[in-house]
């Protein structure tokens, strides 16, 4: 690139996912969690009418670099999973993804949101703290780690 031209920042776009995105989401999930979900599992969730599925796309890319899935019932929802490709972590994209997802949930009539997070997942806990989630419970041994040990989950809620 000539020195007078500078690279333009890549702008994140948050858009609904389709079943065609399931393989990319499965790869991101596998890189993010000890027990990743399969493309078939994710395809079923994305296609479920009660699930709101948003993907994070960078620039004009067709393949998501992150995603979030929430199941909504009447005026409450639960974040089922949220994950970012390890290559794009630490750049604020998770805030963008969650912020836009919360906007979508509000438009869908969701008034209260719930989730579970591994108590040892400091980056995720900082993200949820920034958005105002509050701890409402704790589940001992909820997550199974790759080494077979168990980790506690914190249950969090947010009024939208």
**In this structure, what CATH number is given to the domain that contains residue 124?**
3.40.630.30
Where in the sequence is the domain holding 127, given as residue range(s)?
A: 12-159
pLDDT at 46 over 70: yes
Does any domain span residue 17?
A: yes
Determine the average pLDDT of the residues in 11-32.
96
> DSSP string of 111-122?
-EEEEEEETT-H
Helix, strand, coil percentages (3-state) for the chain, rounded to 5, are 30, 35, 30
Asked whether the whole model's pTM tops 0.85, one would answer yes
pLDDT at 5 over 60: no
Question: How many domains in the chain?
Answer: 1
């Amino acid at each position: 690139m000539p020195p007078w031209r500078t690279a333009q920042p890549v702008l994140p776009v948050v858009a609904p996912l389709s079943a065609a995105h399931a393989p990319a989401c499965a790869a991101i999930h596998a890189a993010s969690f000890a027990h990743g979900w399969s493309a078939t599992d994710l395809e079923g969730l994305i296609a479920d009418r009660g699930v709101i599925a948003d993907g994070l796309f960078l620039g004009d890319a067709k393949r998501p670099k992150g995603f979030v899935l929430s199941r909504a019932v009447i005026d409450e929802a639960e974040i089922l999973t949220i994950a970012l490709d390890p290559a794009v972590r630490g750049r604020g994209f998770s805030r963008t993804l969650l912020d836009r997802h919360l906007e979508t949930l509000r438009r869908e009539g969701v008034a209260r949101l719930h989730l579970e997070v591994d108590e040892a997942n400091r980056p995720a806990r900082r993200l949820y703290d920034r958005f105002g989630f509050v701890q409402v419970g704790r589940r001992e041994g909820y997550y199974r780690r790759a080494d077979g040990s168990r980790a506690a989950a914190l249950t969090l809620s947010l009024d939208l």
